[in-house]
Amino acid sequence: MRVERARYFLAAVETGSLRSAAVRCRVSQPTVGQQIALLEEELDVVLLTRSRRGVRPTPAGQALLKPLGRLVAAEEAVRESAMESSAAYRGLVQIGSVSVTAETIIAPVVGHLREHHRGLRFTVREGASADIEAAVLDGGLDFGVITMPMSPAATGLHRVPLVSAPVGIYTLTDHPLAGRSHVHWHDLEAWPIVTMRTGTVMWEMLHRHVAGPDVVIQAMSARTVKVMVGQGAGLGLLPRFETSADIPDLVWLPLHDTSPVHLCLTHRQDSQPSRSALLVRQLIRARADKLTEQGI
Protein backbone atom coordinates (compact mmCIF):
# COMPACT_ATOMS: atom_id res chain seq x y z
CA MET A 1 0.00 0.00 0.00
CA ARG A 2 1.28 3.48 -0.86
CA VAL A 3 1.17 5.44 2.37
CA GLU A 4 0.42 8.77 0.68
CA ARG A 5 -2.97 7.34 -0.32
CA ALA A 6 -3.81 6.89 3.35
CA ARG A 7 -2.54 10.42 3.99
CA TYR A 8 -4.87 11.84 1.32
CA PHE A 9 -7.84 9.89 2.73
CA LEU A 10 -7.19 11.16 6.27
CA ALA A 11 -6.84 14.74 4.99
CA ALA A 12 -10.14 14.45 3.12
CA VAL A 13 -11.94 13.24 6.24
CA GLU A 14 -10.37 15.93 8.45
CA THR A 15 -11.10 18.81 6.05
CA GLY A 16 -14.44 17.55 4.72
CA SER A 17 -13.63 17.97 1.03
CA LEU A 18 -11.24 16.74 -1.63
CA ARG A 19 -10.39 20.31 -2.56
CA SER A 20 -9.33 21.22 0.97
CA ALA A 21 -7.40 17.96 1.27
CA ALA A 22 -5.53 18.83 -1.93
CA VAL A 23 -4.62 22.25 -0.53
CA ARG A 24 -3.36 20.71 2.71
CA CYS A 25 -1.33 18.03 0.92
CA ARG A 26 0.00 20.44 -1.73
CA VAL A 27 -1.23 18.39 -4.68
CA SER A 28 -4.04 18.75 -7.21
CA GLN A 29 -7.63 17.79 -6.42
CA PRO A 30 -7.73 15.15 -9.20
CA THR A 31 -4.64 13.54 -7.66
CA VAL A 32 -6.34 13.25 -4.27
CA GLY A 33 -9.51 11.78 -5.80
CA GLN A 34 -7.59 9.31 -7.95
CA GLN A 35 -5.33 8.11 -5.13
CA ILE A 36 -8.24 7.63 -2.71
CA ALA A 37 -10.06 5.63 -5.41
CA LEU A 38 -6.97 3.42 -5.78
CA LEU A 39 -6.86 2.99 -2.00
CA GLU A 40 -10.50 1.89 -2.04
CA GLU A 41 -9.63 -0.58 -4.81
CA GLU A 42 -6.68 -1.95 -2.83
CA LEU A 43 -8.74 -2.41 0.32
CA ASP A 44 -11.89 -3.49 -1.56
CA VAL A 45 -14.09 -1.10 0.45
CA VAL A 46 -15.77 2.23 -0.16
CA LEU A 47 -14.13 4.75 2.16
CA LEU A 48 -15.95 8.00 1.36
CA THR A 49 -19.39 9.20 0.42
CA ARG A 50 -19.33 12.23 -1.85
CA SER A 51 -21.94 14.97 -2.19
CA ARG A 52 -22.16 18.66 -3.06
CA ARG A 53 -21.49 19.42 0.60
CA GLY A 54 -18.17 17.56 0.53
CA VAL A 55 -17.09 14.12 1.68
CA ARG A 56 -17.53 12.03 4.81
CA PRO A 57 -16.33 8.56 5.76
CA THR A 58 -18.49 5.50 5.26
CA PRO A 59 -18.78 3.07 8.20
CA ALA A 60 -15.85 1.15 6.69
CA GLY A 61 -13.89 4.36 6.31
CA GLN A 62 -14.63 5.34 9.89
CA ALA A 63 -13.36 1.96 11.12
CA LEU A 64 -10.11 2.42 9.21
CA LEU A 65 -9.32 5.95 10.44
CA LYS A 66 -7.21 4.84 13.39
CA PRO A 67 -5.31 2.03 11.60
CA LEU A 68 -4.49 4.27 8.65
CA GLY A 69 -3.54 7.09 11.03
CA ARG A 70 -1.08 4.76 12.74
CA LEU A 71 0.32 3.79 9.34
CA VAL A 72 0.96 7.40 8.38
CA ALA A 73 2.46 8.19 11.79
CA ALA A 74 4.76 5.16 11.51
CA GLU A 75 6.03 6.27 8.10
CA GLU A 76 6.73 9.77 9.44
CA ALA A 77 8.61 8.31 12.41
CA VAL A 78 10.74 6.15 10.09
CA ARG A 79 11.58 9.12 7.87
CA GLU A 80 12.42 11.26 10.88
CA SER A 81 14.73 8.61 12.36
CA ALA A 82 16.42 8.07 9.02
CA MET A 83 17.03 11.78 8.57
CA GLU A 84 18.38 12.10 12.10
CA SER A 85 20.73 9.13 11.74
CA SER A 86 22.11 10.53 8.47
CA ALA A 87 22.80 13.90 10.10
CA ALA A 88 20.60 15.53 7.44
CA TYR A 89 19.27 18.22 9.77
CA ARG A 90 22.37 20.35 10.03
CA GLY A 91 23.49 23.79 8.98
CA LEU A 92 21.86 27.19 9.31
CA VAL A 93 18.25 28.07 8.43
CA GLN A 94 17.48 31.80 8.22
CA ILE A 95 13.85 32.72 8.78
CA GLY A 96 12.05 36.05 8.40
CA SER A 97 8.91 36.78 10.41
CA VAL A 98 6.46 39.55 11.14
CA SER A 99 5.64 40.03 14.81
CA VAL A 100 2.31 38.20 14.83
CA THR A 101 3.76 35.11 13.13
CA ALA A 102 6.78 35.21 15.42
CA GLU A 103 4.50 34.82 18.42
CA THR A 104 1.85 32.47 17.05
CA ILE A 105 3.80 30.26 14.62
CA ILE A 106 7.58 30.65 14.83
CA ALA A 107 8.03 30.50 18.62
CA PRO A 108 6.49 27.01 19.03
CA VAL A 109 8.53 25.75 16.06
CA VAL A 110 11.72 27.14 17.62
CA GLY A 111 10.95 25.22 20.80
CA HIS A 112 10.50 22.00 18.81
CA LEU A 113 13.78 22.53 16.96
CA ARG A 114 15.68 23.13 20.20
CA GLU A 115 14.32 19.92 21.69
CA HIS A 116 14.45 17.53 18.74
CA HIS A 117 17.05 18.88 16.28
CA ARG A 118 19.98 20.13 18.30
CA GLY A 119 22.37 19.97 15.37
CA LEU A 120 20.33 22.45 13.37
CA ARG A 121 21.07 26.15 13.77
CA PHE A 122 18.62 28.89 12.91
CA THR A 123 18.15 32.63 13.04
CA VAL A 124 14.86 34.54 13.09
CA ARG A 125 14.75 38.10 11.75
CA GLU A 126 11.64 40.10 12.63
CA GLY A 127 10.48 42.91 10.36
CA ALA A 128 7.78 44.18 8.01
CA SER A 129 6.42 41.88 5.32
CA ALA A 130 7.90 43.92 2.48
CA ASP A 131 11.35 43.96 4.10
CA ILE A 132 11.27 40.21 4.67
CA GLU A 133 10.27 39.47 1.08
CA ALA A 134 13.09 41.69 -0.18
CA ALA A 135 15.57 39.75 1.98
CA VAL A 136 14.19 36.41 0.75
CA LEU A 137 14.46 37.55 -2.85
CA ASP A 138 18.11 38.63 -2.52
CA GLY A 139 19.06 35.43 -0.67
CA GLY A 140 19.54 36.91 2.79
CA LEU A 141 16.78 34.66 4.19
CA ASP A 142 15.79 31.11 3.31
CA PHE A 143 12.10 31.96 3.59
CA GLY A 144 9.70 34.20 5.49
CA VAL A 145 6.40 33.84 7.36
CA ILE A 146 4.53 37.08 6.81
CA THR A 147 1.20 38.83 6.56
CA MET A 148 0.40 38.55 2.85
CA PRO A 149 0.82 41.99 1.24
CA MET A 150 -2.02 43.43 -0.78
CA SER A 151 0.24 43.77 -3.85
CA PRO A 152 1.21 40.74 -5.98
CA ALA A 153 4.42 38.87 -5.19
CA ALA A 154 7.55 40.10 -6.92
CA THR A 155 8.84 38.06 -9.84
CA GLY A 156 10.80 35.13 -8.47
CA LEU A 157 8.84 34.84 -5.22
CA HIS A 158 6.18 32.29 -4.34
CA ARG A 159 3.63 32.70 -1.53
CA VAL A 160 1.98 29.71 0.16
CA PRO A 161 -1.13 30.60 2.24
CA LEU A 162 -1.00 29.24 5.79
CA VAL A 163 -3.87 30.64 7.85
CA SER A 164 -6.38 33.51 7.65
CA ALA A 165 -7.66 35.89 10.30
CA PRO A 166 -10.36 38.58 10.36
CA VAL A 167 -9.31 42.21 10.80
CA GLY A 168 -10.75 44.35 13.56
CA ILE A 169 -9.99 46.67 16.45
CA TYR A 170 -8.93 46.13 20.05
CA THR A 171 -10.29 48.57 22.59
CA LEU A 172 -10.89 48.82 26.32
CA THR A 173 -14.08 47.31 27.70
CA ASP A 174 -15.35 50.74 28.81
CA HIS A 175 -14.85 52.40 25.40
CA PRO A 176 -18.01 53.76 23.69
CA LEU A 177 -17.57 51.26 20.84
CA ALA A 178 -17.01 48.25 23.09
CA GLY A 179 -20.67 47.27 23.33
CA ARG A 180 -21.12 46.88 19.58
CA SER A 181 -20.99 43.59 17.67
CA HIS A 182 -18.81 45.07 14.91
CA VAL A 183 -17.50 48.35 13.53
CA HIS A 184 -16.94 49.92 10.11
CA TRP A 185 -13.96 51.81 8.75
CA HIS A 186 -15.75 55.14 9.11
CA ASP A 187 -16.06 54.49 12.88
CA LEU A 188 -12.27 54.80 13.13
CA GLU A 189 -12.22 58.35 11.78
CA ALA A 190 -13.15 59.90 15.13
CA TRP A 191 -10.62 58.07 17.32
CA PRO A 192 -6.83 57.88 17.76
CA ILE A 193 -5.40 54.74 16.20
CA VAL A 194 -2.63 52.42 17.36
CA THR A 195 -1.37 50.09 14.65
CA MET A 196 1.70 48.64 12.98
CA ARG A 197 4.32 50.93 11.51
CA THR A 198 4.67 52.38 8.03
CA GLY A 199 5.29 49.73 5.39
CA THR A 200 3.20 47.00 7.04
CA VAL A 201 0.01 45.45 5.70
CA MET A 202 -2.03 46.99 8.53
CA TRP A 203 -0.67 50.46 7.77
CA GLU A 204 -1.50 50.08 4.09
CA MET A 205 -4.98 48.73 4.83
CA LEU A 206 -5.77 51.58 7.24
CA HIS A 207 -4.72 54.32 4.83
CA ARG A 208 -6.55 52.68 1.97
CA HIS A 209 -9.87 52.84 3.85
CA VAL A 210 -9.58 55.89 6.12
CA ALA A 211 -8.57 59.32 4.82
CA GLY A 212 -6.09 61.01 7.16
CA PRO A 213 -6.37 58.64 10.16
CA ASP A 214 -5.15 59.92 13.52
CA VAL A 215 -2.32 57.42 14.05
CA VAL A 216 -0.84 58.13 17.47
CA ILE A 217 1.46 55.09 17.71
CA GLN A 218 3.27 53.12 15.00
CA ALA A 219 4.22 49.89 16.74
CA MET A 220 6.87 47.32 15.88
CA SER A 221 4.85 44.37 17.20
CA ALA A 222 1.26 43.24 17.65
CA ARG A 223 1.86 42.91 21.37
CA THR A 224 2.94 46.57 21.59
CA VAL A 225 -0.32 47.56 19.90
CA LYS A 226 -2.32 45.68 22.54
CA VAL A 227 -0.24 47.03 25.43
CA MET A 228 -0.79 50.58 24.21
CA VAL A 229 -4.51 50.02 23.80
CA GLY A 230 -4.57 48.58 27.31
CA GLN A 231 -3.08 51.85 28.56
CA GLY A 232 -5.78 53.90 26.83
CA ALA A 233 -3.75 55.16 23.86
CA GLY A 234 -6.47 54.51 21.28
CA LEU A 235 -8.09 51.85 19.11
CA GLY A 236 -5.73 49.06 18.04
CA LEU A 237 -6.01 47.89 14.43
CA LEU A 238 -4.92 44.24 14.13
CA PRO A 239 -5.94 40.84 12.79
CA ARG A 240 -7.46 38.66 15.46
CA PHE A 241 -5.04 36.13 16.89
CA GLU A 242 -5.56 35.08 20.50
CA THR A 243 -2.20 36.22 21.84
CA SER A 244 -1.16 38.45 24.75
CA ALA A 245 -3.97 37.11 26.90
CA ASP A 246 -2.29 38.63 29.94
CA ILE A 247 -3.40 42.16 28.93
CA PRO A 248 -6.68 42.74 30.80
CA ASP A 249 -9.83 44.66 29.88
CA LEU A 250 -9.50 44.37 26.09
CA VAL A 251 -12.30 43.55 23.68
CA TRP A 252 -11.92 42.80 19.97
CA LEU A 253 -14.51 43.97 17.41
CA PRO A 254 -14.49 42.80 13.79
CA LEU A 255 -14.37 45.32 10.96
CA HIS A 256 -17.53 44.51 9.05
CA ASP A 257 -16.51 45.98 5.69
CA THR A 258 -13.08 44.46 5.07
CA SER A 259 -11.52 41.19 4.01
CA PRO A 260 -9.46 38.92 6.27
CA VAL A 261 -5.69 38.97 6.15
CA HIS A 262 -3.68 35.90 5.26
CA LEU A 263 -0.47 34.68 6.81
CA CYS A 264 1.73 33.02 4.25
CA LEU A 265 5.09 31.40 3.72
CA THR A 266 7.18 33.20 1.10
CA HIS A 267 10.22 31.75 -0.64
CA ARG A 268 12.16 32.03 -3.88
CA GLN A 269 10.77 30.02 -6.76
CA ASP A 270 14.19 29.06 -8.09
CA SER A 271 15.76 28.11 -4.74
CA GLN A 272 16.90 24.61 -3.83
CA PRO A 273 16.20 24.52 -0.08
CA SER A 274 18.27 22.33 2.19
CA ARG A 275 16.70 19.39 3.99
CA SER A 276 16.87 21.42 7.18
CA ALA A 277 15.00 24.32 5.58
CA LEU A 278 12.37 21.92 4.26
CA LEU A 279 11.97 20.47 7.76
CA VAL A 280 11.42 23.90 9.29
CA ARG A 281 8.92 24.82 6.57
CA GLN A 282 7.06 21.55 7.23
CA LEU A 283 6.89 22.31 10.95
CA ILE A 284 5.60 25.81 10.21
CA ARG A 285 2.85 24.47 7.97
CA ALA A 286 1.90 21.93 10.65
CA ARG A 287 1.72 24.71 13.25
CA ALA A 288 -0.48 26.80 10.93
CA ASP A 289 -2.80 23.82 10.39
CA LYS A 290 -3.08 23.40 14.15
CA LEU A 291 -3.99 27.06 14.59
CA THR A 292 -6.71 26.68 11.97
CA GLU A 293 -8.11 23.60 13.70
CA GLN A 294 -8.12 25.41 17.06
CA GLY A 295 -9.80 28.48 15.57
CA ILE A 296 -7.02 30.80 16.80
Which pLDDT score, from 0 to 100, does residue 5 have?
92
- Average the pLDDT over 136-163 and give the result: 90
Residue 165 pLDDT more than 90?
Answer: no
Average pLDDT rounded to a whole number, residues 164-187? 93
**pLDDT the model gives residue 244:** 54
Are 39 and 13 within one domain? Answer: yes
Residues 273, 213 share a domain: no
Residues 248 and 230 in one domain: yes
SS (H, E, C) the chain: CCHHHHHHHHHHHHHCCHHHHHHHHCCCHHHHHHHHHHHHHHHCCCCEEEECCEEEECHHHHHHHHHHHHHHHHHHHHHHHHHHHCCCCCEEEEEEECHHHHHHHHHHHHHHHHHHCCCEEEEEEECCHHHHHHHHHCCCCCEEEEECCCCCCCCCEEEEEEEEECEEEEEECCCCCCCCCCECHHHHHHCCEEEECCCCHHHHHHHHHCCCCCEEEEECCHHHHHHHHHCCCCEEEEECCCCCCCCCCEEEEEECCCCCEEEEEEEECCCCCCHHHHHHHHHHHHHHHHHHHHCC
What percent of the chain clears pLDDT 70, i.e. is strictly above it?
A: 94
Report pLDDT for 45: 94
Look at residue 220 and tell me whether its pLDDT is greater than 90.
no
Domain end (from 36, 70, 85) = 85
As for how many domains the chain has, the answer is 3
Confidence check: pLDDT of 195 > 90 = yes
- State the residue range of the domain holding 219: 167-258
**Band of pLDDT at residue 182, cut at 50, 70 and 90:** very high
- The per-residue pLDDT for range 28-56, each reduced to its tens digit, is 889 999 999 999 999 999 999 998 889 99
Residue 200 in this model has a pLDDT that exceeds 90: no
In this structure, the answer to whether residues 73 and 138 fall within a common structural domain is no
Confidence at residue 274, expressed as pLDDT on a 0 to 100 scale: 84
| Whether residue 267 is found in the same domain as residue 149 | yes
Residues 81-112: tens digit of each pLDDT: 665 555 556 788 999 998 888 888 898 898 88
Domain containing 71 — which CATH number?
Answer: 1.10.10.10
How much is the pLDDT for 240? 84
The answer on 125 and 98 residing in a single domain is yes
The string of pLDDT tens digits covering residues 114-133 is 888 878 888 999 988 889 99
Residues 162-179 have a mean pLDDT of 92
64, pLDDT greater than 80:
yes
Q: Are residues 32 and 78 in the same domain?
A: yes
97 and 241 assigned to the same domain = no
- Whether 254 and 277 share a structural domain: no
The per-residue pLDDT for 38 is 93
Q: What is the pLDDT of residue 79?
A: 72
Same domain, 225 and 270: no
Q: Is 225 found in the same domain as 253?
A: yes
> Which of 290 and 13 is assigned the larger pLDDT?
13
Question: What's the confidence (pLDDT) of residue 87?
Answer: 54
More confident residue, 202 or 293: 202
Residue after which a domain boundary falls, among 23, 58, 85: 85
Q: What is the CATH number of the domain that holds 152?
A: 3.40.190.10
Question: Mean pLDDT over all residues of the chain?
Answer: 88
Asked whether residue 54 falls in the same domain as residue 72, the answer is: yes
> Rounded to two decimals, what is the model's pTM?
0.65
Of 68, 85, 102, the position where a domain reaches its end is 85
